[in-house]
Amino acid sequence: MPALALEKGLTPPEAAAVANYTRGLQDWQSGGHEWHLRSSRYMNSRAQSGNPWHGVTGASGAGGSAADVGALLAAAGAERLRAYTHVPYQKVGPSLLPDFPMPFAVEVSPHLEAARPRLTAWMHAMGMLEEGVWDEDKLAAYDLPLCSAGIDPDASPEALDLSAQWLAWGTYGDDYYPLVFGHRRDLAAARLTTQRLSDCMPVDGEESLVPVNGMERGLLDLWARTTAEMTPDQRRTLKDSVNVMTESWVWELSNQLQNRIPDPVDYLEMRRATFGSDLTLSLCRMGRGPAVPPEVYRSGPVRSLENAAVDYACLLNDVFSYQKEIEYEGERHNMVLVVEKFLDVDRWTASHVVVRLMEERMRQFEHILAHDLLALFQDYDLDEPTRDALTRHAGRLKAWMSGILEWHRQCSRYKESELRHTRNLSLLPTGLGTSAVRAFP
């Protein structure tokens, strides 16, 4: 919080107000905890009449361990310590790949083959293959057009190109931040880059900045073509979704500099952002049939449906990318590793937990499809065109999940042979043309 106050340029009284608010949140949590220990509202027959922070350790009998505050605090302290003691770049071997639950068939666009060379040409034109982060070999190994062809098999050639370019831009940025800014431990430059990327997306006629690197040129080009026929409100929604993703990269970088592994809930919520979920969903919703009222997209069933699909894909990626991220990149942001540290278990147990989470998210997705959407149609008294639009949206989420799984199975981004071949990803690029990665020295 002090670092945030400094970053935002708060005055001393403003910083004090933020500190008071933070202390208020702490009091709210500790006060609620103390009340639960004392109150008999929830059948707590051992409610403490005195200060629960004294004299309760060593309680015996049924439920006594729950009142052992000393043990609870010790366990919490050990858990927090584990979150900061990870040793990066440990040799872990290939990722464990079970049979992933996937009840939906995958379809692939017939325009895939033609999309591949067009993406390579676009990446060269934007300068993202000349900065030392990616080259043509890496781009070919990652095969992002295959991902686009699976998640949107009915796309036109132009729409498929645009989708593949967005995926390439987002994946490139996700690789760029830890490689460039993490290596230099330069959080300030990362924040400045993030602000400049936001300025590449004018909403209502604002003047765009002059790009200084491939990411900025790529985003300016994608933004102009994607938003050409959008209203200012639609542009604002799309811009917010891109900002959520780029700001989450800074959050990851901050954890990297602290050598901090987030807790599972914090990680899963932020993982939706780092995965570009808001961006994907925004693009999915726009220009597809009749408009669906925003309040329907914000409703519980639709958000739950989308979150179940997104979480499934995020967890899937973490299982596939475990070796790449832990052994070759020194990453801290992987759900398998998060579970390892949080539960203090081995890698194989943690992998099993993550796969079980995926299974539960898929079951939830299918349950919402079978039951909750029909209730939503009735609750909002939706007309037939709107019901059809939501049904198609659910169908796109099915294709999104099955297409992402197929891409992970087929591409070489996470295969050990490719990881060994590109091990220099963990080093800051050097040589002719790589000064662009130091856009903000």
pLDDT band at 2 (very low <50, low <70, confident <90, very high): confident
Tokens in use for 50?
């005195």
Which of 33-37, 42-46, 181-185, 313-317 is predicted with the least confidence, judged by mean pLDDT? 42-46
| pLDDT (tens digit per residue) in 118-150 | 999 999 999 999 999 999 999 999 999 999 999
**229 lies in some domain:** yes
**222 lies in some domain:** yes
Q: Say whether 52 sits in a helix, a strand or coil.
A: coil
pLDDT at 245: 95
Its pTM surpasses 0.85: no
In this predicted structure, the answer to whether residue 428 has a pLDDT above a threshold of 80 is no
Range of the domain at 219: 82-435
pLDDT at 81: 74
**40 lies in some domain:** no
Say how many domains are in the chain: 1
pLDDT-above-70 percentage for the chain:
85
φ/ψ bin of 287: left (φ > 0), alpha (ψ from -120 to 50), beta (otherwise):
left
**50 lies in some domain:** no
DSSP assignment string, 85-122: ---SS----SPP-------S-----TTHHHHHHHHHHH
pLDDT band at 441 (very low <50, low <70, confident <90, very high): very low
From 201, 196, 195, select the one nearest 232 (Cα to Cα).
Answer: 201
In this predicted structure, the answer to whether residue 54 has a pLDDT above a threshold of 90 is no
- The domain that holds 106 is classified in CATH as 1.10.600.10
In this predicted structure, the answer to whether residue 41 has a pLDDT above a threshold of 50 is yes
Q: 306: which residues sit within 8 A by CB, 6+ positions away?
A: 277, 281, 397
Q: 296: which residues sit within 8 A by CB, 6+ positions away?
A: 302, 376, 380, 382, 386, 390
Average pLDDT over the chain, rounded to whole? 86
